[in-house]
Structure 1
Amino acid sequence: MRRAAELWPFQPTVRYARQLAEALRAETVGGVIMLLATVAALVWANVSHDSYEALRTTVVGPHALHLDLELYKWAQNGLLAIFFFVAGIEVKEEFVHGELANLRKAALPVLAAVAGMIMPALVYLAVSWGAPQAGRGWAVPTATDIAFALAVLAVTASALPAALRAFLLTSAVVDDLGAITIIAVFFTDHLNLLALAAGAAVIALYGLLQARRVRGAWIYVPLAVLAWYLVEISGVHATVAGVALGLMTRVHSGPGEESSPAERADHRLRPVSAGFAVPVFAFLSAGVVLDAGSLGAVAGDRVVLGVIAGLVAGKFLGVFGGAWLAVRLGLARLSEELHWRDMAAVSILAGVGFTVSLLIGGLAFGDDPERAAAVTTGVLAASLTASVLAAVLLRVRVRKHLNAQDDVVTRAR
């Protein structure tokens, strides 16, 4: 009798699964999948908006555990916890092994990231001042989508110095940490202190076991799920649990370990985050109607215009201005490999808000579907604009760098 694999030649193999997982660890692949999910959502929402809304608002989960959530809420609170867990690991790695481990090196991306969160909020408030509910959306343009931004950089400017990617990655990591702090502090409607304390205790236990080098997914996965659940019912956004657990994960390998727990967790979960969690969130969040009436309303909505201005102009002014001021004041140093025009291009790229901006927009205007949809349209428009502008400028910088290298080779001859 022939084996099942011979009867069904298309059956996935371990090798193909590994190849797929490896591909999903690349920023470009994850970015493309997220973009395709967004396009699919827009197409479905504009072909049959009622069926799209029926899908995203389908309630799933046990009522007894207070987990009877709509699908888009599961994507916001559940799937994005995986994304933020991976982000938390990245933050920890940067603090221990990366740019943030050296205060002198960390100053440039940290100050740029901080200014890159303050300036978009100020630009947003200036543009939206006096509009109804304007004060609720100030945090929407403060976030940078690390995956999407790195994907654009990888596709358009892989030939640029590695220092530019390091700057974008580090500043985006700090930005993620700031965004999750904003979510925790400003988007907590009610607070169950007992559940929050229990969640903190479980996270602390997770960290203690990590510090004591206890190994085994059998103990960490249940603890992570329990921590997520307790934070979810506490009233604090559940993605905070993801970041906290990521920060608690050990980044040093112990005796007999080929890699650290953080490296192993990142290796296993990054494909899940890039290939499933973030695309599903994008699909359930980005489906807005793009007809003449809705686009006209968006164009006349100062809240939406504030979001667009904050992401496109505010992010550039904040990131580039923060970096320039840090160097001018002697607080940081620009890598010799980079030019300020490189920094200008990547500062525009920081205006790709997407995932976290969509999340914050949903939290800020969740009780007003029309305004939430308009803000989503604004985030998509701003992210597309920032991506295109940055891609053009980055390609120009690539040609300049390549020409400079050719000139050096010519002189050497």
Structure 2
Amino acid sequence: MASQNSARQRLFARGSWSESSRIAEILRAETTGGMLLIAAAAIAIVWANTPWGGSYADLRDLRIGPEALHLDLTLGTWAADGLLAVFFFVAGLELKREFVAGDLRDPGRAAVPVAAAVGGMAVPALVFVLWNLGDGDALAGWAIPTATDIAFAVAVLAVISTHLPSGLRTFLLTLAVVDDLLAITIIAIFYTDELHLPFLLLALVPLAAFALLVQKRIRSPWLLVPLALITWVLVHESGVHATVAGVLLGFTVPVLRSHAAGGPDAGPGLAEHFEHRIRPLSAGFAVPVFAFFAAGVDVGGLSGLVEALADPIALGIVAGLVLGKTVGITGATWLLARFTRATLDEELSWVDVVGLAMLGGIGFTVSLLIGELAYGHGSDQVDHVKVGVLVGSLLAALLASVVLRARNRAYRRLAELETVDADGNAIPDVFETDRPGTEGPA
């Protein structure tokens, strides 16, 4: 029996030291961005609910841009369509990095976060639909509670001072990366009202030129930025949400050097370079500015808040984020373990999975974006969406904080263990002694 248990695959086991280090660095950057995101959203909410709330709305609805190119957009739209394209560009880089050189290249390790992400999107959508059955207009927002905001989530971890072990950190980031891919796919397929195919085909020209340059390791912003902007404009004109351009551009960037440039062993491709340069812009500016323009909602005091939360749309979002995410992520992970005979890493428990699943219920940035796409800017439904997303995300954060904080002593012990380097070779000993091939389901 002991030999059978040792042969079983382990869920949430440690990966390689290089992968763990990279993910820790990414999460540190996302923590700073998450703090700025929370601050920006808080400022917007407070401003919108003061006697000067009208000036906030005027600023958000101020139009700038060339009308001849159909780009005379409001500042709020520029933030949603333009700045979030930067966010999704980084998401595209990270997603490709995971598929080419990260956890997603290994089907065994990829199975856990992929299954969790799918379950964590399907169940919240189902909860929202069940809550709004019979209202065809309301059902347009079925995808709102499906997203996970990694920046907000890691900011919560920083606030409660939780020391997640590397296996759980890797799972959380990879789950969020797959979540981003599914979210942008949903936006492209289900929230494209009118498709202008000629513009979409034209967008392939600058996209291909961008791809050619980055494959040749040309990193000049004077060449790449104009091509990226032209791609964005053409995708915007096609009717597909312009953030899709960011993901497509990210996918073109090589993760590893080509054989012609010295082979993969010669070093990383441009993806790592761009990620280091652009992630701070995304996390520190693009996402917080979007949050500032998207989160501001005049709730009308306590009575207005109660009225908004009485709307089945808001209740469906809250239930989807808090209940749906927890059940979807935990349930999918348990089913995977059950049918593949995998076991949790011996240092962890199912309480840890439930805590991370609750943390996945923080669905701020993309949820707000999908809400505006579903119901239209300025509608009453969008205001109720904002209330639902804010309340649901805060409830998910509080519940996750309680669960994860209760396990913090165990996390601290594991985190300390992952820093011990007795032989002084700059690689913690646990990453050298863990046996390969026991890190995911068969």
Give the whole-Å Cα distance in 2 for the aligned partners of 1:192 and 1:302.
34
| 1:204 is aligned to 2:208 | yes
Q: 1:106 to 1:258 in 2, by over 3 A?
A: closer
The reply on whether 1:286 has 2:295 as its aligned counterpart is: yes
Residue in 2 that maps onto 1:97: 101
CA gap 1:401/1:80 in 2 versus in 1, 3 angstroms: closer
Residue 41 of structure 2, aligned match among 32, 38, 41? 38
Stretch deviating more after TM superposition (149-158 or 163-172): 149-158
Residue 302 of structure 1 aligns to which amino acid in structure 2?
A: P
1:223 — aligned with what?
Answer: 227
Distance 2:44 2:220 in 1: 38
For residues 5-404 of structure 1, the aligned pairs below 5 Å read 26-47=29-50, 48-131=52-135, 133-156=137-160, 158-253=162-257, 255=261, 259-290=268-299, 291-330=301-340, 334-366=344-376, 369-402=379-412
Q: Percent identity?
A: 52
Per-residue CA deviation, residues 3-43 of structure 1 (Å, 9 max, x unaligned), is xxxxxxxxxxxxxxxxxxx9996222111111110111011
CA distance in 2 between partners of 1:171 and 1:385 (Å): 20
Aligned-residue offset at 1:299: 2.3
Aligned-partner Cα distance in 1 for 2:34–2:411:
25
Deviation of 1:403 after TM superposition, in Å, equals: 6.9
Deviates more, 1:149-158 or 1:361-370: 149-158
Matches of 1:249 and 1:332, distance apart in 2? 35
By how many angstroms is 1:402 displaced?
4.6
- Partner Cα distance (2:341, 2:288) in 1: 39
- In 2, the alpha carbon distance for the partners of 1:172 and 1:206 equals 26
- Matched residue, 1:411: none
Counterpart secondary structure, 1:120: helix
Do the aligned partners of 1:150 and 1:169 also contact (CA within 8 Å) in 2? no
TM-score (norm: length of structure 1): 0.88
Give the CA deviation at 1:332: 5.8
Letter in 2 for 1:71: L
Q: CA RMSD in A?
A: 2.4
More moved, 296-305 vs 201-210: 201-210
Paired residue type of 2:42: V
1:309-344 CA deviation, whole Å, 9 max, x = no partner?
001100111111111101111086644443211111
C-alpha distance in 1 between matches for 2:201 and 2:139: 30
* 1:148–1:401 CA distance, 2 compared to 1 (3 A): closer
CA contact (8 A) 2:203 2:230 kept: yes
Contact 1:108 1:333 in 2 (8 A): no
| Structure 2 residue runs without a partner (length 5+) | 1-24, 417-442
**Range with bigger deviation, 384-393 or 326-335:** 326-335
Q: Secondary structure at the match of 1:26?
A: helix
> Structure 2 vs 1, CA of residues 248 and 292 (structure 1 numbering), >3 Å: closer, same or farther?
same
225-234 or 155-164: bigger deviation = 155-164
Deviates more, 1:266-275 or 1:253-262: 253-262
- Is contact 1:84–1:242 with CA below 8 Å preserved after alignment? yes
Query: How far has the Cα of 1:131 moved from its partner?
Result: 3.8
**Partner of 2:362: helix, strand, or coil?**
coil
Shift in alpha-carbon separation, 1:333–1:100, aligned structure 2, 3 A: farther
Q: Secondary structure at the match of 2:49?
A: helix
